[in-house]
A and B are shown apart, each in its own frame.
Chain A
Amino acid sequence: AQTVTQSQPEMSVQEAETVTLSCTYDTSESNYYLFWYKQPPSRQMILVIRQEAYKQQNATENRFSVNFQKAAKSFSLKISDSQLGDTAMYFCAFRMDSNYQLIWGAGTKLIIKP
């Protein structure tokens, strides 16, 4: 069975700092997709970034980038120049190529302090 683990329940950094959120997963599949979602206090879940397992290049979206280590089954999210609006729960999620279902981690609460 596939599992997703986020080992940091909560993190707090100063505005403009860089922060890295950790995620590890377990699967025997070779083709899969990894996602980071953001859920602000308003509760609307928003896709931040996506990584295809077959791509060696790490995905980037503006201030957000990932460090995808396939052999280590690690998928961390780096937020550069953090902003107050980045305060939210961040969820790591996994999806097999052969199955539509998302497997979610427990989330990391990120607080950006002014």
Chain B
Amino acid sequence: EAGVVQSPRYKIIEKKQPVAFWCNPISGHNTLYWYLQNLGQGPELLIRYENEEAVDDSQLPKDRFSAERLKGVDSTLKIQPAELGDSAVYLCASSLRGGNPYNEQFFGPGTRLTVL
């Protein structure tokens, strides 16, 4: 069974440029998470989807970040414009229904973003 797929693995951009990350969750997983992970820290949740609905986006900086999961499957996270402080690893995870603590979150390999 394929795991969570993310692309690209690495992205280097100039500040003020836009950037987008793509995630394809494990088939059948209706819950999708986007996390930000700074160097030497644990992940921080940005947004959680249940199917196509963003049920928790309270920690998403909405002035520059946006996300979508139009058909309840794959998802895109966008930053526009990017700032130097956005340099980090962006992780995507998926699970069966997120409310059940026994539904393990499976993580993708992440996208390492460097903003110059």
Contact = CB atoms under 8 A, between A and B. Distances in A.
Interface of A: 4, 9, 33, 42-47, 50, 91, 93, 95, 97, 100-102, 104-107
A64 B76 CA distance: 36
Given A43-B89, A45-B93, A97 B45 contact: no
Contacts, number: 48
B42 interface: yes
B45 A102 contact: yes
What class of interface size applies to chain B in its complex with A?
20 to 34
B42 A47 contact: no
Interface of B: 3, 40-45, 48, 56, 89, 91, 93, 98-99, 101, 104-105, 107-110, 112
Given A33-B101, A97-B101, A100-B98, A43 B42 contact: no
A106 B98 contact: no
